[in-house]
Amino acid sequence: MAKYAILAATGRIGQLTTRYLLDNSEADLVLFGHNAKQRLAEFAGDRVSFVDGDLKDEQALQEAFDDVDAVFLAYVATPDLINPVIKALDASGVKRLIAMSVPDVYQEVAGSFQAWYREHTGLVWKTNYVDTIDAIENSDLDYVILRTTWLYDNPSKTDVDVTKKGEPFKDAQITREAVAKFAAELLIGQQDYHRESLGIGEPNTEWTKPSFY
């Protein structure tokens, strides 16, 4: 039986991914986060275990990674958080990591969306999010980085437009539900990407700004 760990599971995308996996797979789950057992009590059951911990706590991370097949970091981590995660993965022998990030770490945001994005997000390629990306890409992990554009909620919108590293990124928005579904599909093997940095957005949203602004 497959087993997956979801880090930052108490967040919105972590919870949506948990629900999708429980409803659409037979996998067992380890939910990791601050006060995870209390805050995620709705997911309690035979297939779910909880690890209360901080992303800087390598011992707690190794506990969460025990006997798991893959890990989803449902949070955009800074270097002080990603480095303990990578160390704990190495110590546990787990190779598969799905990790969230943001667009423009490679200065790839383009088209009519570029001006608004950089005005409201800043110059991402000058932040330490680049160091996070470098740490993942320089590891020996079987990673997928999800550079996720501006988020909103809509359960009916779960299609994903995928661009690869080196390609321009133009999509203005994506739902949290779509991100969660795509991450879950990566975990269970329905999406087949390996050692890739993917830009993900909602199809047909090459706009000057998200529709909710």
Domain contains 212: no
8 Å CB contact between 199 and 171: yes
* Number of domains into which the chain is organized: 1
Query: Mean pLDDT over residues 56-85, rounded?
Result: 97
- CATH number for the domain that contains residue 146: 3.40.50.720
pLDDT of 171-196, one tens digit each?
Answer: 999 999 999 999 999 999 999 999 99
Query: Mean pLDDT over residues 57-69, rounded?
Result: 97
Domain contains 208: no
Parent domain of 110: 3-201
Domain contains 209: no
Exposed/middle/buried for residue 11 (C-beta within 10 Å: 0-12, 13-18, 19+): middle
Domain contains 44: yes
Question: CA 4, CA 67: separation in Å to the nearest integer?
Answer: 9
Domain contains 194: yes
pLDDT value at 1 more than 90: no
pLDDT of 108-121, one tens digit each?
Answer: 999 999 999 999 99
Domain contains 207: no
Q: Is 166 left (phi over 0), alpha (psi -120 to 50) or beta?
A: left
Residue 74: the pLDDT is 98
Domain contains 151: yes
Domain contains 108: yes
